[in-house]
Amino acid sequence: MFNVSAVAWIWNYDLSVGIVTSARSAAVSVLRMDMKNMREYVGWLYYQYLLITGIYVLEPWEQSIFNTLLFTMVAMVIYTSYVFVPIHVRLALEFFSELVRGQPESTVALMNSR
């Protein structure tokens, strides 16, 4: 079973030479493995997060503190974007559309006066 997955990996590796971003490489490595279900995949993602941020070496209560802080900050970012981004986008669109509408009117006026 393991040899089969290794051969499949080598075949996939030949296909995936040149992959640069970590997200894409993560997706490819998931395809290479026997990820039976969503739960295992989420567990693998959490393990990657622990390793990359360095939280893996900390004691469980320190990990909880860090996770809480990170989760709070991410929640605040999402809330702020949910409240404010539509308003900002609408205002920006209005500003730019007014600019565009104002321009053809002035050029038309110039041509008529000539």
Partner 1 sequence: MTQNSASKLLNGDTLHRTKQDKKAGGNGFVKNHCLFQQQQKRYRRPAEKSHHASRTLLYKKTFVESFEETPLLVAVLTYMGYGILTIFGYLRDFLRDWKLEKCHLAREREEQKDFVPLYQDFENFYTRNLYMRIRDNWNRPIRSVPGAKMDLVERVTPDYNWTFEHTGKVLKDVINMGSYNYLGFAENTGTCADTASECTEKYGVGVCSTRQELGNIDKHEELEKLAARFLGVESSMVFGMGFATNSMNIPALMEKGCLILSDELNHASLVLGARLSGATIRVFKHNNMQSLEKLLRDAMVHGQPRTHRPWKKILILVEGIYSMEGSIVRLPEIIALKKKYKAYLYLDEAHSIGALGPRGRGVVDYFGLDPCDVDIMMGTFTKSFGAAGGYIGGKKELVDYLRLHSHSAVYATSMSPPITQQIITSMKCIMGEDGTTLGQERLCQLSENTTYFRRRLHEMGFIIYGNNDSPVVPLMLYMPAKIGAFGREMLKRNIGTVVVGFPATPIIESRARFCVSAAHTREMLDTVIMTNLFLSFHFDFGVK
Q: Which residues bind partner 1 (CB under 8 A)?
A: 2, 6, 9, 13, 17, 22, 25-26, 29, 32-33, 44, 47-48, 50-59, 62, 66
Shortest Å distance, C-beta 18 to partner 1:
8
Name the nearest CA neighbour of 33 among 66, 81, 1. Answer: 1
By C-beta, is 69 or 76 nearer to partner 1?
69
Q: Which helix (H) or strand (E) holds 68?
A: helix 60-113
Q: Are residues 32 and 9 in contact, defined by beta-carbon separation less than 8 angstroms?
A: yes
Shortest Å distance, C-beta 76 to partner 1:
19
By C-beta, is 56 or 84 nearer to partner 1?
56
Instruction: Say which residues have a Cβ less than 8 Å from residue 15's Cβ, sequence separation at least 6.
Output: none
Shortest Å distance, C-beta 39 to partner 1:
16
SS3 4: helix
By C-beta, is 15 or 17 nearer to partner 1?
17
By C-beta, is 21 or 106 nearer to partner 1?
21
Residues 14 and 43: their CA atoms lie apart, in Å, by 27
Shortest Å distance, C-beta 32 to partner 1:
7
Residues 108 and 106: their CA atoms lie apart, in Å, by 5
